[in-house]
């Protein structure tokens, strides 16, 4: 089991461009969580998804951010029209169920120029 | 509001000395508390959770509901314990993480 995979590991975008971050959960895990870590801050919950469903998106900014976890393929965190304040490390975690340990990916570091 | 507080950003101890990483929380229900660790160039991983009452790598943590604390302790620190430690609370569908404490064990 390769563990949670995230790609790309580093992503550079100019202001106004779109950023797409991918997360492949561990085999057998149907629950995916996205977190953002801003400089000097802890991990902040963004969204919790199960296959084809958004369960809790209370941590997602209301505009420009969206997430999906299709039936086939990785979970995608999409940020439209990026701004400098979006620069952060974005972590994905997966688990086999709601009250289980979460397994984390290595993160994607987004830099907005 | 749910919150996890780790008051120390940086903590340095000498090898063999006791270490305590502090964590306080606020949560209206019955929380589940965790400690996650991130070693250099590795991904975040679970260290221990309060419901299992385990000792992992010599670390223990006791949930004190009266003080709303979940401090992480180890009687004798080792160099390989140097890492970033995050306290986390699971409530509802979410994990709430603290800002982390960077532990350095001085040889």
Lowest mean pLDDT among A29-33, B74-78, B88-92: B88-92
Are B84 and B38 spatial neighbours (Cβ–Cβ below 8 Å)? yes
> B3 forms bridges with which residues in the sheet?
B26
Q: What is the pLDDT of residues B30-83, one digit of tens each?
A: 788 999 999 988 889 999 988 777 788 999 998 888 899 999 999 999 999 999
Q: How many CB atoms lie within 10 A of CB B9?
A: 10
Q: What is the DSSP letter of A26?
A: P
Q: Which pLDDT score is estimated for B69?
A: 94
Of A40, A42, A98, the CB nearest to B93: A98
Chain B residues contacting A via beta carbons under 8 Å? 4, 6, 32, 34, 36, 43-46, 49, 86, 90, 92-100
* pLDDT for residue A55 is more than 80: yes
* pLDDT for residue A101 is more than 90: no
Most confident of A35-39, A96-100, B45-49, B78-82: B78-82
Q: What is the DSSP string of B13-66?
A: EETTS-EEE--EEE-SS--EEEEEEE-TTS--EEEEEGGGT--BTTBEE--BTT
Cβ <8 Å between B93 and A42: no
* pLDDT for residue A2 is more than 80: no
Q: Which pLDDT score is estimated for A84?
A: 95
Token pair recorded at residue A42 = 């802890």
Most confident of A90-99, B6-15, B36-45, B91-100: B6-15
Cβ <8 Å between B95 and A3: no
More confident residue, B30 or B21: B21
């Amino acid at each position: 089991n390769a563990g949670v995979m995230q790609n790309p590991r580093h992503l550079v975008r100019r202001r106004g461009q779109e950023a797409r971050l991918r997360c492949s959960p561990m085999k057998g895990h149907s629950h995916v969580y996205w977190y953002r870590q801003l400089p000097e801050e802890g991990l902040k919950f963004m969204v919790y998804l199960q296959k084809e469903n958004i369960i809790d998106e209370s941590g997602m900014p209301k505009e420009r951010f969206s997430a999906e976890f299709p039936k086939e393929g990785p979970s995608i965190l999409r940020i439209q029209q990026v701004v400098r304040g979006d620069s952060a490390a974005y972590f994905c975690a997966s688990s086999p169920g709601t009250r289980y340990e979460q397994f984390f990916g290595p993160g994607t570091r987004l830099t907005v120029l | 509001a749910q919150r996890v507080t780790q008051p120390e950003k940086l903590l340095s101890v000498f090898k063999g000395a006791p270490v305590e990483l502090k964590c306080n929380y606020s949560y209206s229900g019955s929380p589940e508390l965790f400690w996650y660790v991130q070693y250099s160039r590795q991904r975040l991983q679970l260290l221990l959770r309060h419901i299992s009452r385990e000792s992992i790598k010599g670390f223990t943590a006791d949930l004190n509901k009266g003080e709303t604390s979940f401090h992480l302790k180890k009687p004798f620190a080792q160099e390989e314990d140097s890492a970033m430690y995050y306290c986390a609370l699971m409530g509802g569908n979410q994990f709430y993480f603290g800002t982390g404490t960077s532990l350095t064990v001085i040889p």
